[in-house]
Amino acid sequence: MTAFTVTRTIAGQQRLSRKIIRSGKTIAIVPTMGALHDGHLSLIRRARQKADIVVVTVFVNPTQFAPHEDFDRYPRDPKGDIRKIKEAGAHIVFMPKRSDMYPHGYETYVTVEHMTGVLEGHSRPRHFRGVTTIVAKLFNIVQPDVALFGMKDYQQAMVLKRMVKDLNWPIRMIVCPTVREKDGLARSSRNRYLSPELRAQAPALYHALKTARLMVRDGITRTKDIKRKMRSIITKNAPDAEIDYIALTEMESLKPVTSVGKNTVASLAVRLGPVRLIDNMKIT
């Protein structure tokens, strides 16, 4: 099966996946919420190296948005997404309807416990319940051998790796590097909502993360010193920024550290006007 295909029903995608598996070919999945940018496309290109067939899912998942968040105005461009996915070399686009994924009376959810109560989970309660549930459903529908996610959503990637391990899915999880603009801003579908003035301030997040890494290389390892410096950089260079959190954690467990050791990740979330930006960097 090599012809480019768009599937819109769960049953249709399940039939297609079973056919691929019977043929002896492997499947890679790249889950997305659409409004694709170069970060998504880099995952698709990497997926082509890891499996015979690449399935890209496009679904704006309502269960990971709180009532006050931007579900209704989250950017959507289905025609543009299909074109970009085809050009990037994927084989299948799965674009299900909300009513099929969450039919009337739906009440089953997948939860990863402790890892989802910190960082994004602390700021956005129940967010990860929606993430893990939709990804679990997509895994069951597509039946992939490999799944690819971006490091930009670092906590999400770690939570999903834990879910796959705990539920014994035979899926290889690959976390790919964050794709950035020339000035360091992490690519995001929400970046388009930044005004020119706010967009000019946004690289302060990247500069703060780079500074954290340089401080560690210079022998400064106390978390509170690093966080204080990161905060000052953002405050100085992004005067309109509202800092949600700055955190230093152990990469796999997400546990906070008081002194930087091996595999430490610096993470932050900052609101610039109507846009909430997240970013991270492995600093050791």
The catalytic residues are: 40
Are residues 254 and 269 in contact, defined by beta-carbon separation less than 8 angstroms? no
Evaluated on CA atoms 167, 171, 172, 178, the torsion sign reads negative
Burial (CB < 10 A; 0-12, 13-18, 19+), residue 72, is exposed
Contacts of 102 (CB under 8 A, 6+ apart): 62, 63
Burial (CB < 10 A; 0-12, 13-18, 19+), residue 192, is exposed
CA-closest candidate to residue 51, choices 178, 171, 176: 171
- Residue located via tokens 């819109």: 8
Are residues 158 and 252 in contact, defined by beta-carbon separation less than 8 angstroms? yes
Helix boundaries (H) for the chain: 10-22, 38-50, 78-88, 98-101, 120-123, 127-142, 154-166, 196-201, 204-217, 223-237
Which contacts qualify for 76-81: CB closer than 8 Å, 24 or more apart? 76/34, 76/35, 77/34, 77/35, 77/36, 78/34, 80/36, 81/32, 81/34, 81/35, 81/36
Phi/psi of residue 221, nearest 5 degrees: -125, -5
